[in-house]
Amino acid sequence: MLRRVIQKLRNGQKKKLKEAGAENIWRQEVKVPVWIRGKESLQIKTSNGEWKNIRMLSFGNSEGTGGKDLIADILLVNDIPELNTLTSAQVKDKIIFVNSPIDQKIINTVDSYLISAKSKLLSASVIGKKGAKGLIIRSLTTASDDVPHAKMIYYEPDDKIKIPAVTIGAKSANELEKLLKKTGRKSKAYDVCRIERRNN
């Protein structure tokens, strides 16, 4: 279906160019990455041993778990400066939860969003190099609801290991922080996302 739509668009563009007087028209093959959202879920183990579902959303371009459960202890981090000071020993084999809300003291919400996003969306690469298994980020929004908002996560070109990254809404983030402060928990992320790359 998609191929037919693309072909129709190509033919229409070629026709328009000819009508505009273009003589030399050619197409070049190009390779582009295609990211496909797979089945995804995030669960936290409660004190009675049951898994509690938490509403979540994978970041675009996020690495997946290969269809397997990713189970690890969660390490709560309150802001990016704290995240950057963590050692490999502190981060290794953990799922890092960054519960840092957007600074609402900044009047221009676009500015506050960009400041927060710039550091957070690169953090998967930073902690991945230190041995973390996954990343959970508080939703990049000023809203106090529980709707997860996700942009695109970034990995550095030299990253040998790319870890899954998800976001959760403000309410879930607050609840998760309270839970983690009471006692240590484990997080279980299943099929955070699936990546498939095709030639277009």
Which pLDDT tens digit goes with each residue over 65-99?
A: 887 888 888 888 888 788 888 899 999 999 999 88
CATH number of 34-195: 3.50.30.30
Strand partners, 57: 167
Q: CB of 34 within 8 A of CB of 196? A: yes
Q: Is the pLDDT of residue 196 over 70?
A: no
Rounded distance between C-alpha atoms, residue 121 and residue 133, angstroms: 16
59 CB neighbour count, 10 Å cutoff: 25
Pick from 80-94, 106-120, 185-199: least confident: 185-199
Q: CB of 80 within 8 A of CB of 119? A: yes
Both tokens assigned to 21: 């007087």
Which pLDDT tens digit goes with each residue over 145-178?
A: 888 887 888 888 888 889 999 999 999 999 888 8
Q: Is 84 helix (H, G, I), strand (E, B) or coil?
A: helix
Mean pLDDT of 35-50: 80
Residue 19 phi/psi, 5-degree rounding, is: -65, -30
Residue 140 corresponds to which amino acid? L
Q: Is 164 helix (H, G, I), strand (E, B) or coil?
A: coil
Cα 31 to chain centroid, rounded: 23
Radius of gyration of the chain (CA): 21
- Domain limits, the chain: 34-195
Q: Is the pLDDT of residue 193 over 70?
A: no
